[in-house]
């Protein structure tokens, strides 16, 4: 049953025939104890209702299933306490590795206490971060090159004559910080000032973002770049209420190229952060380490692609 080379082919076939006749299914827990592997991967994300995270879990589960691995899914929530408690719960399940989806797990960058629980977890099992970056022993990361994607997107807006580009974000996660840094660098390199009034924090909710923009009546902008598609669509709804033409008077771009980007009207320009590649690379490297005992890269950065649609004219 475990593929031991010490068993003859004749004996193997005889045992397998009896198993089939009796409809025998191996006990995965007993087998895991014997092999010191449950062939089970823990996957954590803050909220499975989020489109990005739901897609990531789908990509991971399908690829892991292809190689005979099962998954335990947990939604940790966003607070520090919730993340720490759920990580402990996952480690109690005798998982082979732990995958964390979302840049929130990388912390805000200012407080090392925020990520201490991840480094502690890595002492017990390999930890893989998707869309986040964290240095540490037994910690492996795969993330999108958000800095250069946002730099290119902002520069494209500037080349089309946009002078007041509103940057919308909803957190200070690793990914959000990289996007903001790319936005700021593009402005500086083009000789534009970085204005605090054009950094607009909101929720990743369409109507909430629309209503927030409508409240700020004195805020002037001719372009919007959002770190999530839902925020960008909120800006489109704001433009519709105000009678502002898109993209002639207002250019709008989002991020992650979700299904919403293709469902809205006009269709939304968005950055494809190559989530499927991040997930596939993570699983492939994980299996190379677990099964082939190979050394793998601890940090993998993947280039993004701007999907140009009708909300921009570049």
Structure tokens at 237: 């709804």
> Could you tell me what percentage of the chain is helix, strand and coil, using 3-state DSSP and rounding each to the nearest 5?
45, 20, 35
Q: pLDDT for 142-152, tens place per residue? A: 999 999 999 99
Neighbours of 199 (CB within 10 A): 14
Assign 25 a pLDDT band (cuts: 50, 70, 90): low
36: pLDDT strictly greater than 80 = no
pLDDT tens digit sequence for 263-275: 999 999 999 999 9
Mean pLDDT of the chain: 93
The count of C-alpha atoms lying within 13 angstroms of the C-alpha of 100, restricted to the half-sphere facing its C-beta, is 33
Antiparallel, parallel or unpaired: β 269-272 and 305-307: antiparallel
pLDDT score of 30: 46
3-state secondary structure of 195: coil
Mean pLDDT calculated for residue range 80-108: 93
Question: Residue 32: pLDDT band by 50, 70, 90 thresholds?
Answer: very low
Both structure tokens of 174 = 């690793």
pLDDT in tens, 168-213: 999 999 999 999 999 999 999 999 999 999 999 999 999 999 999 9
pLDDT of the residue at 29:
46
What is the rounded distance in angstroms from the CA atom of residue 123 to the CA atom of residue 109?
A: 21
What whole-number distance in Å separates Cα of residue 187 and Cα of residue 166? Answer: 12
What is the pLDDT confidence band of residue 33, given thresholds at 50, 70 and 90? very low
Question: Who's near 11: CB < 8 A, 6+ residues apart?
Answer: none
pTM comes to: 0.86
Query: Would you say the C-alpha torsion 58, 62, 63, 69 has a positive or negative sign?
Result: positive
Whether residue 266 has a cis bond before it, omega within 30° of 0: yes
- List, in sequence order, every residue forming a beta bridge with 45; answer none if it has no partner: 75
User: How far is it, in rounded angstroms, from Cα 69 to Cα 114?
Assistant: 30
Separation of alpha carbons 138 and 128, rounded Å: 9
- Structure confidence by residue, pLDDT tens digits, 126-135: 999 999 999 9
Query: Do 128 and 94 contact (CB within 8 A), yes or no?
Result: no
Asked if 163 and 222 touch (Cβ cutoff 8 Å), the reply is yes
pLDDT at 22 (0 to 100): 75
Cα first-last separation, the chain:
59
Residue 26 pLDDT grade (very low, low, confident, very high; cuts 50, 70, 90):
low
User: Which of 9-13, 90-94, 250-254 is predicted most confidently?
Assistant: 250-254
Three-state DSSP state, 18: helix
Q: Please state, in angstroms and as integers, the Cα–Cα distance from residue 8 to each residue in 11, 24, 214, following that order.
A: 5, 21, 75
Residues 6+ positions from 54 with CB-CB distance below 8 Å: 48
pLDDT band at 37 (very low <50, low <70, confident <90, very high): low
Q: Tell me: the pLDDT tens digits for 204-243?
A: 999 999 999 999 989 999 999 999 999 999 999 999 999 9
Backbone angles phi, psi at 200, to 5 degrees: -115, 110
- Cis bond upstream, residue 42 (ω within 30): no
């Amino acid at each position: 049953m475990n593929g031991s080379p010490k068993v003859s082919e004749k004996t193997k076939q005889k045992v397998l025939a009896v198993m089939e006749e009796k409809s025998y299914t191996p006990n995965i827990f007993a087998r895991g104890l014997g092999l010191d592997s449950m062939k089970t991967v823990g996957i954590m994300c803050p909220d499975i209702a989020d489109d990005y995270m739901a897609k990531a879990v789908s990509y991971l589960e399908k690829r892991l299933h292809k190689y005979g691995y099962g998954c335990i899914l947990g939604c940790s929530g966003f607070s520090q306490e919730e993340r720490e408690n759920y990580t402990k719960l996952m480690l109690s399940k005798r998982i082979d590795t732990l995958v964390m989806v979302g840049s929130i797990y990388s912390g805000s960058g200012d407080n090392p206490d925020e990520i201490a629980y991840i480094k502690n977890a890595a002492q017990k099992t390999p930890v893989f971060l998707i869309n986040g970056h964290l240095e540490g022993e037994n910690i492996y990361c795969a993330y999108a090159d958000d800095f250069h994607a946002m730099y290119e997107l902002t520069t494209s807006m500037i080349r089309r004559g946009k002078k007041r580009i509103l940057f919308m974000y909803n957190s200070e996660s690793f990914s959000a910080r990289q996007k903001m840094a790319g936005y700021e660098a593009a402005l500086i390199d083009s000789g534009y000032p970085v204005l605090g009034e054009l950094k607009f924090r909101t929720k990743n909710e369409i109507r909430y973002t629309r209503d927030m923009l409508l409240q700020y009546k004195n805020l002037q902008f001719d372009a919007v770049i959002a770190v999530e598609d839902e925020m960008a669509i909120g800006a489109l709804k704001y433009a519709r209420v105000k009678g502002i033409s898109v993209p002639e008077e207002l250019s709008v771009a989002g991020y992650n190229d979700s299904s919403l980007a293709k469902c809205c009207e006009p269709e939304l320009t968005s950055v494809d952060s190559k989530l499927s590649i991040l997930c596939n690379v993570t699983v492939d490297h994980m299996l190379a380490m677990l099964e082939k005992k190979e050394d793998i890269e601890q940090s993998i950065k993947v280039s993004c692609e701007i999907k140009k649609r009708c909300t921009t004219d570049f």
